[in-house]
Chain A
Amino acid sequence: MRRILLLLVPLAALSGCAFSGGGEDAPKTVTLVTHDSWAMDKGVIAAFEKKTGYRVRTVASGDAGALVNKLVLTKSDPIGDAVYGIDNTFASRAVDAGVLADHTASLPTSAEAFRPSGEAAQQLTPIDYGDVCMNVDNAWYTAHHQTPPATLDDLTKPAYKDQLVVPGPPTSSPGLAFLLTTIAAKGDAWPTYWKALLANGLKVDSGWTEAYETDFTAGGGKGDRPIVLSYASSIPDTIAKGGTTPTTSALLDTCFRQVEYAGVLKGAEHPKIAAELVDFMLTNAFQKQLPSQMYVYPAVTTTALPTEWARWAKVATKPYAIPAEEIAQERTTWLRQWRDLATQ
């Protein structure tokens, strides 16, 4: 028994710090609710903290869907002051449920194109965007003396049988974006297109990690599929160490544009500072960090991009889009329809 005590004493002494953090949260803290992919340079945040005298506390709350649902469920007693990470596929749900207060930052002209429509225009400020597109492993196609596909229709051709892997629409936000791509492209015939994809050996994974890191040939796993649904910004990542060109490319005719917004929560404890935080996200200091921190493009499109991005991470000129109101109205129906045709 004594030996156990000897073991426990140093451990108990250690255990002070994880629980002592309580005090610092008390006054002058502004809480930013985000999705799990939130990342920002500590120096940039420190600059805001210095300017306002408020500490910024972030609360990561799952993916974009879980984030919005948490805000809806805690509406009467919000879990923070501001929110970042509501995207154009969930924007209407947040606005309709009334979780947001009226506030938008004044948008520079170059960001105007991303302004949401309807009531959301008074509550959500666009911060960044990203293009969800098919990525192809050019190295694989060269080695196998084949031509990579270029369009959505190519993906159903026998030449590309068993070559495509996508993350699933119900469990992954790029997956949902691809479902919306097919709906925007094929209209009511989208289920037929998906049936053709499935008949052509489409593999559906639960998330981006499984699709890209396990099944994609260029993803570092033992994958055997040279086409994957990922982001236009994934391309520079495949420049090998010492190399100069990426081994993959994005099919820019297959893209859906995701826009991410920030806003002030209704019932916020510090609405003024929350509004300042939203405004701060449009400043150059914040915007220019977006590519390296969160792999997204600054909504203020005049912001300078990292050299590799400027050269290799091109965005689509004509991405597919569906109005946020229509997505909000139809999402559940579409997803249930998708589940019925793609799963048992």
Chain B
Amino acid sequence: MTWRRSSTALLAAVPVAVLAVFFVYPVVGMVGRGFVVDGRFAPDDVLAVLARPRTLRVLWFTVWSAGLATLVCVLAGVPLAWALHRLSFPGRRLLRGLVLVPFVLPTVVVGVAFGQLLAPAGWLGFLHLQGTAVAIVLALAFFNVSVVVRTVGSFWEDLDVRREEAAAALGATPWQVLRTVTLPTLLPGVVGAATVVFLFCSTSFGVVLTMGGLRYANVETEIYLLTTQELDLRGAAALSVLQLLVLTALLALAHLTGRAVPVDRVRARPRRPRRGDLLALGWSALVVAALLLPMLALVVRSLATAGGGWTLEHYRALGHVSAALPASALTGLSNSAQIALVATALSMLLGVAVAGLVTRPGGGRWRSVLDGAFMLPLGVSAVTLGFGFLVTLDHPPLDLRASPWLVPIAQAMVALPLVVRTVAPVLRAVDDRQRQAAASLGAGPLRVLLTVDLAVAWRPLLAAAGFAFAVSLGEFGATSFVVRETTPTLPVLIYRLISRPDAGDVGTALAASVVLAVATALVMLCVERVRP
């Protein structure tokens, strides 16, 4: 028994230590600088910032824009998750890959693509959405729909169909089955996905600045401006604390929603679409079209010359090292892939351990605390974390500022919550009697995790790995603080290119984004092929 308890402790110790060193310590170090004025601890000044009327306005915009975007993501994503994960039709694997693409695109690139659509002379110019809050919400949703599709989809795949069949056999209409059986069972998956989406949206600063033309500000853009432009560390610290409070409230709220019912799993084979599916399929097609439109605009723009003609010049430039860039876009892609591989491995190792721990029945309060702790990296500003790395990880034994490992570690911290959110609901639904049986036959916690939990969860696990890989490919915020000039990632290169005041460089940046998108779609397609 002691051995079992100590091995559980060990399982918890590693992820907790990593979180403490690479997240809590840098963030506390940075926020702490706002609390200490001239060597004196001065929390009153920070609290005064929170009382500014502007802070309240900014908080309100953050909550409603992120909330609305989350709602759009759920409404658009859940039917699409069903279509792509429960139905079988040609091309669905390709679609699953494509749907994930927006998630990895750099914000500034999506800004250009949306600009192409929403500008008065653009394809959707007649909607007059440019620079409005609606454009911000739509762009946020564009980025994050895939989170819902992927998390809910892999959960849905593993849902026991016999209960639905039983309800139908007892005379329930398809709508009644959906409302009384499917959706309640699905709820933990949906809530988990929505929580993650909300956090992504509320900590997004690129989208809000690019789409809103500075007219709107959320907590994250305020932190960004206060830290990078005004050096008002007190204000930034106050807002970081505010982010933590919002996060805690959100997690408490998510915690209140129901738990999964343990069920024996009989997986449904994906079936062919029927006539009754038309409505949901039509809706899904609409969502896919809405996702593809900005991507199409991006491709078109990457092929266009300033004079209105067509050219492949921007793609040819991808192989070259230009003066602005320490490496060609192709080298950047290869760097990104390598770093993403390591980041994926790290986030999977830590994520599975955490998911295993938080789903153990009978853990009590510490379990939900642990669960929430690993959501923190999503809810706290990348600017605060990035500056935190610079000011804290600079002396032995943690002299890591120039270490090549800091990039994948930073990315793994961002991917970790997604892994936990994808894997935990599935593990939670595993019948605990199976674990007890295994344990009574002498298996230790690690063995139980491997032989019982992983045996059912390996499919969502693969989905999580694919997702972690995509997060790492697209991550820019924290990466830009720790990336090394010798091995820049592709999003960092794209950002550099697109910021240069030269039309040719902007074209190359867009071409590089298309390559990033295609690479992402291909990786996802490979992951899909491995899944039976």
Contacts and interface: CB of A to CB of B under 8 A. Distances in A.
A34 to B, nearest CB: 9
A295 interface: yes
B215 A213 contact: no
A205 B334 CA distance: 33
Contacts of A208: 499, 501
Given A4-B462, A69-B231, A221-B115, A25 B480 contact: no
A4 B121 contact: no
B116 A221 contact: yes
A241 B307 contact: yes
Contact of B390 (A37, A41, A74, A231): A74
Contacts of A18: 334-335, 338-339, 404, 487
A222 B387 CA distance: 37
Given A18-B338, A168-B214, A343-B217, A214 B112 contact: yes
Nearest to B216: A344
B319 to A, nearest CB: 16
B526 A77 contact: no
Contact of A79 (B108, B304, B401): B401
B503 interface: yes
Interface extent on B, as a size class?
35 or more
Interface in B113-160: 115-116, 119-122, 125, 131
Contacts of B322: 39
A199 to B, nearest CB: 15
A146 B326 CA distance: 45
Contact of A58 (B216, B326, B502): B326
A132 to B, nearest CB: 11
Contact of A14 (B111, B227, B334, B405): B334
A21 B214 CA distance: 40
B131 A21 contact: no
Contacts of B213: 168, 203-206, 210
B82 to A, nearest CB: 26
Interface in A1-27: 1, 3-4, 7, 11-12, 14-19, 21-22, 24-25
A335 B484 CA distance: 32
Contacts of B181: none
A46 interface: no
A75 B44 CA distance: 26
Interface residues of A, number: 79
A171 B214 contact: yes
A209 B231 contact: no
B323 A170 contact: no
A170 B225 contact: yes
Interface string B466-478: 0000000000000
Interface stretch (A59-67, A115-123, A318-326): A59-67
Interface string B254-288: 00000000000000000000000000000000000
B229 A222 contact: no
A230 B501 CA distance: 8
Interface string A317-344: 0000000000000011001000000111
B502 A237 contact: yes
Contacts of A215: 115, 119
Contacts of A205: 213-214
Most buried by A among B229, B404, B526, B530: B229
B503 A21 contact: no
Interface in B99-116: 108, 111-112, 115-116
Interface in B391-411: 391, 394-395, 401-405
Interface in B434-485: 458, 462, 480, 484-485
B320 to A, nearest CB: 12
Nearest to B123: A222
**Residue of B214, B326, B339, B403 most packed against chain A (CB within 10 A):** B214
Nearest to B109: A209
A288 interface: no
Nearest to A289: B323
A332 B530 contact: no
Nearest to B311: A241
Contacts of A37: 324, 496, 499-500
Interface in A141-184: 168, 170-171
Nearest to A41: B323
A77 to B, nearest CB: 5
Contacts of B229: 65-66, 69, 170-171, 335
Contacts of A39: 322-325, 500
8 contacts: A12-B341, A69-B227, A207-B209, A207-B499, A209-B112, A213-B115, A221-B116, A343-B214
3 nearest A-B residue pairs (beta carbon):
A214-B115, A18-B338, A39-B324
Given A18-B334, A206-B210, 7 more contacts: A7-B530, A37-B496, A37-B499, A39-B325, A233-B501, A332-B230, A344-B57
